[in-house]
Amino acid sequence: MIIKASGGGGGRGMRVVRGDAELAQSISMTRAEAKAAFSNDMVYMEKYLENPRHVEIQVLADGQGNAIYLAERDCSMQRRHQKVVEEAPAPGITPELRRYIGERCAKACVDIGYRGAGTFEFLFETASSISSK
């Protein structure tokens, strides 16, 4: 798993945990780093993906029940968890998968009454790990 600072970003305040023995100390260390860097010691845990793809979908919504998705980009090429290259359209994303993801992002905007421009970010290991859900 990976522990992340909830107030963090840009690859800061993250620690990979590979075993139970290191969990408590890793949480403590990540909380201390988060407090120092972001003035917020809240952390969360998620599944760690060894070689993820990082794909983003851009959306526009008016807060009145209308939302569209614009395009996707692959931001997988990173250095120290910082994006180096953004590639659009994302390679390996079929038109069907693009539509599948984009429609769900637009629906999420409508469901929460979102207004403005925004970006949904996804980490996944294979395209089938998204399309099979």
Q: Domain total for the chain?
A: 2
Task: Report the CATH number at residue 57.
Answer: 3.30.470.20
62 in the same domain as 21: no
**Cross-strand partners of 80:** none
* Entry pTM: 0.73
Residues 69 and 94 occupy one common structural domain: yes
CA triplet 58, 59, 65: central angle to 5 degrees? 170
**pLDDT, position 129:** 53
Range of the domain at 107: 53-131
Per residue of the chain (133 residues), what is the pLDDT tens digit?
A: 999 999 877 778 899 999 999 999 999 999 999 999 999 999 999 999 888 889 999 999 999 999 999 999 999 888 777 788 888 999 988 999 999 999 999 999 999 999 999 999 998 886 555 544 4
CATH number at residue 12: 3.30.1490.20
Q: What 3-state class would DSSP assign to 100?
A: helix
